Structures are given as C-alpha cells and as structure tokens.
C-alpha cells in the first residue's frame, strides 16, 4: 500500500475530550488492530509506531491539564 500526501488514513465521528480521563483511557487501551483493519504485520507495525507516541502524548496532556488545574 502506497500512501499519498494528504491521504486520510483513518476517520471517525468521535471527538475525544483530552481533559476526560475516560476518553484518554479509552484511546490508550484501544488495541492497535482498531486502527489497522487489514491486520497484516506491516500495517500493524506501522500503526503501532505512529499510535504509541500519540498515546503517550494524550496521557501527558491529560496529566498536565489536571495537575495544572489542581495548582490554580
């Protein structure tokens, strides 16, 4: 599969709230297979490489939001 610049890889109607522990946890616990419907090894590896940093960033942002508001 060859990707073109600007090609949509995944689209969803869900708009997660980055301040919601439930939304962040749902994203973090979502298996990579949900983002790679074909499920072949190359696609799973590529998705894992892209999704893992996004999951870490989602938790970091949630934590920063909640620790920042607790200090105010």
What are the pLDDT digits (tens) for 10-25? 566 667 788 999 999 9
29 is a domain residue: yes
- How far apart (Å, rounded) are the C-alpha atoms in residues 31 and 40? 14
Residue 66's domain comprises 21-71
Is 34 inside a domain boundary? yes
Residue 2 lies in a domain: no
Within a domain: 37: yes
Is position 58 within any domain? yes
Q: Report yes or no on 67 lying in a domain.
A: yes
Instruction: Give SS3 for 61.
Output: helix
Prediction pTM value: 0.68
Count of domains forming the chain: 1
Dist. CA 38–CA 47, nearest whole Å:
11
- pLDDT at position 44 is 92
């Amino acid at each position: 599969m060859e990707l073109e610049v600007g090609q949509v890889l995944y689209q969803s109607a869900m708009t997660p709230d980055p301040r919601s522990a439930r939304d962040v946890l749902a994203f973090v616990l979502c298996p990579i297979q949900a983002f790679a419907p074909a499920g072949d090894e190359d696609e799973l590896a590529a998705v894992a490489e892209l999704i893992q940093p996004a999951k870490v960033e989602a938790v970091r942002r949630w934590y920063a939001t909640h620790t920042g508001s607790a200090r105010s």
